[in-house]
Amino acid sequence: MTMAALLSSPSQGDFTQTIMSFLRSCSSLKQAKQIHACILRNNLPQYLYAKLLLFCTSSSPPLPGCALDYATLVFVQLQQEPTIFMWNTMIRSHARNEDPLRALSFYIRMRDRCVEPNNYTFTFLVKACTTDSCLFSSIGRAFHAQSIVFGIPNSDIHLYTSLVNMYSSTVDGDIAAARSLFDRMKHRTTATWNAMIAGYARQGDIEAAKELFDKMPDNEEQYFQRSKFGDVGRLFASAPVKTLSTWNSMIAGCVRASKPAEALAIFHQMQLACVRPNEVTVVSVLPACAQLGALESGEWIHLYVERNRLDNNISVCNAIIDMYSKCGCIEKATAMFKGMKKRNVVSWNTMISGLAIHGRAEEAIELFTKMESEGVMPDEITFVGLLNAFAHAGVVDKAWVYFQRMQKIYGIEPKIEHYGCMIDVLGRACHLDEALNLINQMSIEPNAVILGSLLSACRNCNNLCLGEKVLKKLVELEPLNSGYYVLLSNIYASARQWKDVNRVREWMKCRGIEKIPGCSSIEIDNTVHEFIVGDKTHSQTQDIYAKLDEIYQKLESAGYVPDASVVLFDLDEEEKAQNLLVHSERLAIAFGLLKLSTNKPIRVVKNLRVCRDCHLAIKLMSQVYGREIVLRDCNRFHHFRDGRCSCNDFW
């Protein structure tokens, strides 16, 4: 486009149409500036400025360069009073650009000039205030009040959808207010439903989100069948139906609320509804597979990623690495990592953390060294992963080296997580004096994470005196956390101080604190089966217990004798042995032996630390049955093969 071409039209009417045509085909800020020059030179109608502003602020994809700054300059130099459309264009553009202050400044100038806002003005302003800032959230509420003052009806779908989103998603939001608005709306769009469902999901109220989600039609046909207007409604309204965004919000919400089984169930429901997952879906659902140890589901998703060429997305690849690591397939995680064409610091951190939970400290160090050699700058999370690796391998000296290196070479000041890792390293190795010295030298006040690690160290070292002191401080910080009471109870039980065990139980009972039950899960044919200690609720309970009897007969023949000292109750020896035989991980393994072919590893996930006797029994099971058994407890992975465990009995 040249200036000569723009000046070739003979009359102003034709010239205006030519400018409009050029604006429609304009593709760069440079061309927009040429058009602006022509509008100025020829004193063309003001509505062309409105079109120019709209082009500079709303192009898709956004124009390269400072198009928004240029639009602002055009706006402030207007010789005539801007129309409400122009004001709204500027407010909306800054709201979309995540610059709420400038959006608000335009509104203030607009009111100073006595220009009355309309429904679009408030829609854009509310969107600008939908941030993580408490200040802007309060301002958003004020705009809601002003919209009522200016008579904007609640039938305005766009404004009320923005309000529902603001109330349900801001840091100090009001989910009840959002639902009240939602229920009062006469008509709702898909965006309205999505905002309300996503709001509940973000708040962790999965039941309320699921209730709305189930009410929302899957497709237009379903909507108009349910609608009182029937087929006639098709002429007047678009159907609010589930979109990919709706499904993604539900899956992500379930994962955030620590409900991975529900997340996977919704993902499978999504597949049945013939909705194609995208990168966001994959990144949302893979953590659910990781939490459950649902390897089969994770592998299917990985295959889907490869077939649909989504593996160019770094976030997707990172999520796959994390899934394989937490499902016990560290080799597949490593292969995925090595095959990535591009990596970011999250990729390296995810791989280092994966090696850590498998107790592969030396490999974690090698990977960190390679990370440095490739010029990738480690961050705080990198060192958390490294220190965890040293804790699981019992490597104290190297832990100190890298803890100091983090500060001296990379200038990363230790945070509470790093101190917690170091206390864990020292505590597992029974270096209690060093752990206490480190706590005393900390520049940060010790929190429950630090003291919890110290209490675990007291259990490892059977230090009753220190354990009691630590518990008193922990109870002040987190009085309702059952894990701390259980740890102290374990210490007393190991010393066979049953009166003290009962005393701890009485404390818990008086304060209404219940012990988290041990729960183990195993995935078979894409279905996750869960067991608790002594569980008899499974549909195949009879077969499972028959298999358990067979297992113990074989274990006894191999010389297994139950270690009754790990039972934390004052029972007789026979009762203690019976209690051990029905621990949740043993039920899951028995079910795996029943259902899985002999060439498949048995993979079990447990929510608590595996006890010493179960660890011994599973080692023998791997030998007697010639099976690989992979157990992930709350601390780390245990790979059992041929009567040995990858942790070398250090966990």
The per-residue pLDDT for 197 is 93
pLDDT tens for residues 243-268? Answer: 999 999 999 999 999 999 999 999 99
Check pLDDT > 80 for residue 185.
Answer: yes
pLDDT tens for residues 457-476? Answer: 888 888 888 888 888 888 88
Say which CATH superfamily domain 343-444 falls into.
Tetratricopeptide repeat domain (1.25.40.10)
The per-residue pLDDT for 585 is 96
Q: How confident is the model at residue 13 (pLDDT cuts 50, 70, 90)?
A: low
CB contact at 8 A, 181 and 155 = no
Check pLDDT > 80 for residue 60.
Answer: no
What's the whole-number mean pLDDT along residues 43-50? 78
CB contact at 8 A, 68 and 59 = no
The per-residue pLDDT for 515 is 80
Q: Structural domain boundaries of the chain?
A: 1-80, 343-444, 537-645
Check pLDDT > 80 for residue 316.
Answer: yes
In terms of average pLDDT, the best of 26-35, 78-87, 216-225 is 78-87
The per-residue pLDDT for 225 is 60
Q: How confident is the model at residue 576 (pLDDT cuts 50, 70, 90)?
A: very low
Residue of 161, 163, 160 whose CA lies nearest to 141: 163
What's the whole-number mean pLDDT along residues 7-36? 71
Task: Output DSSP code: residue 235.
Answer: G
What's the whole-number mean pLDDT along residues 474-480? 84
Q: How confident is the model at residue 224 (pLDDT cuts 50, 70, 90)?
A: low
Check pLDDT > 60 for residue 301.
Answer: yes
Choice between 223 and 390, residue whose per-residue pLDDT is larger: 390
Q: How confident is the model at residue 578 (pLDDT cuts 50, 70, 90)?
A: low
What's the whole-number mean pLDDT along residues 604-608? 94
What's the whole-number mean pLDDT along residues 414-437? 92
The per-residue pLDDT for 237 is 46
The per-residue pLDDT for 236 is 39
Q: How confident is the model at residue 498 (pLDDT cuts 50, 70, 90)?
A: confident
The per-residue pLDDT for 567 is 54
What's the whole-number mean pLDDT along residues 21-27? 75
Q: What residue spans of 395-431 are helical by DSSP H?
A: 396-408, 416-428
The per-residue pLDDT for 171 is 67
pLDDT tens for residues 117-136? Answer: 999 999 999 999 887 777 77
User: What does pLDDT average to over the chain?
Assistant: 87
Q: CB neighbours of 572 closer than 8 A, spacing ≥ 6?
A: none
Query: 529 forms bridges with which residues in the sheet?
Result: 522
Q: In this structure, are strands 629-632 and 637-641 parallel, antiparallel, or unpaired?
A: antiparallel
Question: By CB neighbour count within 10 A (0-12 exposed, 13-18 middle, 19+ buried), where does 109 fall?
Answer: middle
Residue of 360, 271, 361, 282 whose CA lies nearest to 322: 282
pLDDT tens for residues 195-214? Answer: 999 999 888 899 999 999 99
CB contact at 8 A, 581 and 552 = yes
Tell me the C-alpha to C-alpha distance, in Å, between residue 410 and each of 342, 347, 442, 595: 23, 19, 19, 51
Half-sphere exposure for 349 (CA within 13 Å, toward CB): 13
What's the whole-number mean pLDDT along residues 521-538? 93
Q: How confident is the model at residue 280 (pLDDT cuts 50, 70, 90)?
A: very high
The per-residue pLDDT for 240 is 81
Check pLDDT > 70 for residue 341.
Answer: yes
629-632, strands of its sheet edge to edge? 527-532, 519-524, 602-606, 629-632, 637-641, 644-645
Residue of 558, 559, 576, 544 whose CA lies nearest to 624: 558
CA 18/CA 40 separation, integer angstroms:
15
Check pLDDT > 80 for residue 594.
Answer: yes
If phi > 0 it is left, if psi is from -120 to 50 it is alpha, else beta; for residue 534 that is: left
pLDDT tens for residues 138-178? Answer: 888 999 999 999 998 877 889 999 999 999 887 667 899 99
The per-residue pLDDT for 48 is 81
Which backbone phi and psi does 528 adopt, to 5 degrees? -90, 125
The per-residue pLDDT for 570 is 42
Query: 522 forms bridges with which residues in the sheet?
Result: 529, 604
The per-residue pLDDT for 57 is 82
What's the whole-number mean pLDDT along residues 437-459? 88
CA 329/CA 31 separation, integer angstroms:
55
CA 579/CA 575 separation, integer angstroms:
6
Q: How confident is the model at residue 449 (pLDDT cuts 50, 70, 90)?
A: confident
